Amino acid sequence: MRLKIQKTYSENEKHIEEIQKHADNNKNYFGFLPSSAYEELTHKGQIWTAVSIDDNLLVGYLIFGGTYPHLRIFQLFSHPKLRKHGIGKLLIDELIKYGEAHNYLAIHAKVAAELRANKFWEKQKFLIFKQELGGTSKSKNRRKINFRSYALNTPDLLTNSNQLDSSVITYPNRPLLSPPIYAIDLNPLFDITFQRENAPEAKLILGQGFGGLFKLCVTPEFKNELNRHSVKNGSDPILEIATSLPTLRECSEAELSPLCETLRIIVFKNRKINSSSAVNNKSDLIHLAYCCNNSIDGFITRDKALLNKSDELNKEFGISIISPEELSLSNDFYEKRSVQVSNENFSLEQLDSKKRNELHEFLTKVNLNNKLIEQLLKRSIGDTTVKEILLYKNELVIGFASWNKPTKLSKSMSLHLYIDESICGAIIGIDHLLESAIRETLPLILNRIDLYILENQALTKSIAIKKGFLLNQDKGLTKIAFNGFIKNDSWEKFKNDFCDKSGKQVPETMPSKMEIDSTGIPIKSNSTIYLKCLSLFEFETLISPGILLHKERECLLLPIKENYAVELLGNLTGQLSFIPSKATSFLSEKAYFRSTNRSGYFEKGGLIAFYVSGNKSIQEIVGTARISFSGLLTVDQVNINMHQQGVLSADELHGLTNSSGVLHAFTFDNFKALPKRISFKDAKNKGIISNANLTTVEKLPYLKLLELLEESYSI
């Protein structure tokens, strides 16, 4: 049988009724979807059909959705009389290609445990990562559900640029740990207020947004549109609510108009400009233009014209168009995940003999195989060469990390990290434990870290890749980490060690600033073909926490009040504590907010040295860090982009804004506490810093930076 796969609305519109009929006839297998979902997912191109070329009959279909970085299969159907013709495999293979082309990390599917279909899913390498009882606790005869996952090939920093567009592997110009940001249109708010039939999905969106799965915001057009509606509907209370919602940056007419016209050609190309729906069309375009101009992830709407062009808008502007029904369908995978956390929720404890049963229970729960569980439990507790950490949330074990400390002979680390990613706040635990292990590598030596995680830990995989882990030949993850500073005279040794550990080559001599700015840092394999030219930021991420000290490298000396330093960086009165004093300092990337004074000094990839200021403070330079994002933002934008990464209150943030209502915000990572802190007095006496009172940021040129580091390190 000759088959073709159809993906567009125009191709599949005629099949919607037939698809719904098949779905209703198979409710025991598929569950229930509202009729509106079939229409909206077809508009989005997320219902694919398999059709026989000879007679154009529907022989199978696939319904999928999900939010990045996971795809979710809702239904897979092939005609009962044609089950041996590979229809299901054809649709799944096409979805795998789609997922990898769009850089998703995994595909999830739910299958009732008693169904013979499990053999098909096992054959397609969709592995079970957990089992749960379906339905509610009050339901009778609850079915056991297999949650299955397929791990996709994921690009990393050294993916060959011939295979993937270079934009795929560059870092976004925003905080790396920021969850997706979505703007919403008016309908979800009206659904809840007027108790319309779609109210349940709207409530779910707000619950997920406030719960931290993603960040919700509105555009300035949202309030303008609400003003127009409030006169007719008498919904002034809604307008009051809307004014308190985080709002994207206001844009000028000059910024919006060209973008709106480009979007109009994509979305409403064949509609008349003066049609009866022109006002609504224009409003939709303005919403989208704000989303594009503010570089957020997407827009939540039921508008069919926008849903129909979702792939094109995503390709052109990187904006996802998501329907409320799609989020509702994905809820069982994502509803518990959040990045919001209070410092009472999380704790880290060393594993001891009293906690072995807790560990065994947790590792069994996350479906780690029995042989590996036994090996991990047999590790010598109390052995100073092995670190074993339990991560708790509200006294419940949600993660376990185990790693050996590298020695000068082995210079390698085996890091086992197993996290229940469905738990609220898992991202913070993943980030902190990965960073803790990386920080325990040997100083001034190139270390190799091999990371072992579960097949379904797509979030862990994503964060690890952002920290410079590469995909290895076994589809695992490996990182080459240099814990320290690299100068011209140490480049030769670094170059040889890097080749030995990674099998990749870097230039013979340390590139100059001009070479890095113009070419980047070339990486190649043993062949003569260069794999990639990395920017300085990408290269330092690859070898993090390593820092290159080329002769033009500057550093910013930044005063910080002691109470803020403690909350951001940890306890500074003595040894830096392993368990941070605030939830914020669980994160390796933190946010700092200041006035706009000298904000131009701050560039992504730049170095910072923190000086704890104040007459009654310790008045010492305590550590260095790297800028990962810098920008002028409104308080709303801070709340949208950097929630939980900083420590200032809303009032304090407003106090930093200038006459235009913006403040300077930057995030930093790779914080290194200085082994020997430098007092302000000593730094002045030695001429490291100027004689001026350090009340604002000050530039340290390369030679002064070198003096500072040589005073604290032996480099």
With cut-offs at 50, 70 and 90, classify the pLDDT of residue 171.
very low
Higher-pLDDT residue of 674 and 324 is: 674
* Alpha carbons 634 and 654: distance in angstroms, whole number: 9
Q: In the predicted model, is pLDDT for residue 335 greater than 70? A: no
- List pLDDT tens digits, range 23-32: 888 877 776 6
Portion of the chain with pLDDT greater than 70, in percent: 83
With cut-offs at 50, 70 and 90, classify the pLDDT of residue 165.
very low
pLDDT, mean over the chain: 81
pLDDT of residue 287: 92
234: left (phi over 0), alpha (psi -120 to 50) or beta: left
642 closest CA partner among 592, 588, 701, 709: 592
41 Cβ contact partners less than 8 Å away, ≥ 6 residues apart: 47, 63, 65, 323, 325, 326
Average pLDDT (583-606) is 84
552 closest CA partner among 506, 625, 606: 606
Average pLDDT (477-505) is 90
pLDDT of residue 272: 63
Portion of the chain with pLDDT greater than 90, in percent: 27
Higher-pLDDT residue of 577 and 690 is: 690
**555-712: same fold as 3-152?**
no
DSSP result, 30-46: H----HHHHHHHHHTT-
Average pLDDT (214-242) is 72
With cut-offs at 50, 70 and 90, classify the pLDDT of residue 683.
confident
DSSP result, 293-305: HTT-SEEE---HH
Higher-pLDDT residue of 70 and 242 is: 70
Please identify which residue in the block is written with the tokens 């590792």: 363
Least confident span in 99-103, 327-331, 377-381, 522-526: 327-331
Average pLDDT (257-281) is 78
- Report the range out of 103-107, 315-319, 661-665 with the highest average pLDDT: 661-665
pLDDT of residue 310: 84
Average pLDDT (169-195) is 65
Angle made by CA atoms 478, 484, 488, in degrees to the nearest 5: 105
- List pLDDT tens digits, range 533-553: 899 999 999 999 999 999 899
State whether residue 414 is helix, strand or coil: strand
Q: Which two tokens stand for residue 21?
A: 């009929």
pLDDT of residue 154: 72
Whether the CB-CB separation of 61 and 3 falls below 8 Å is answered with no
Whether the CB-CB separation of 608 and 553 falls below 8 Å is answered with no
Average pLDDT (10-17) is 91
167 closest CA partner among 705, 538, 462, 480: 538
- List pLDDT tens digits, range 310-332: 888 888 888 888 887 776 665 44
pLDDT of residue 331: 46
Higher-pLDDT residue of 226 and 234 is: 226
Burial of 605 from C-beta contacts in 10 A (0-12 / 13-18 / 19+): middle
Enter the pTM of the model. 0.71
Domain spanning 181-334: which superfamily? Answer: 5'-nuclease (3.40.50.1010)
Average pLDDT (560-568) is 79
CATH topology for 3-152 is: Aminopeptidase (3.40.630)
Least confident span in 334-338, 635-639, 648-652: 334-338
Least confident span in 34-48, 213-227, 344-358, 380-394: 380-394
3-state secondary structure labels for all residues of 145-203 = EEEEEEECCCCCCCCCCCCCCHHHHCCCCCCCCCCCEEEECCHHHHHHHCCCCCHHHHH
| Antiparallel, parallel or unpaired: β 47-52 and 58-65 | antiparallel
**Would you list the domain boundaries of the chain?**
3-152, 181-334, 351-548, 555-712
Q: Which residues of 58-78 are buried (b: 16+ CB within 10 A; e: fewer)?
A: bbbbbbbbbbebbbbbbbbbb
Least confident span in 57-61, 144-148, 185-189: 185-189
pLDDT of residue 189: 75
Q: In the predicted model, is pLDDT for residue 172 greater than 50? A: no
Please identify, in words, the CATH class of the domain defined by 555-712: mainly beta
pLDDT of residue 334: 34
3-state secondary structure labels for all residues of 351-402 = CCHHHHHHHHHHHHHCCCCHHHHHHHHHCCCCCCCEEEEEEEECCEEEEEEE
pLDDT of residue 54: 83
Average pLDDT (409-420) is 88
CATH topology for 351-548 is: Aminopeptidase (3.40.630)
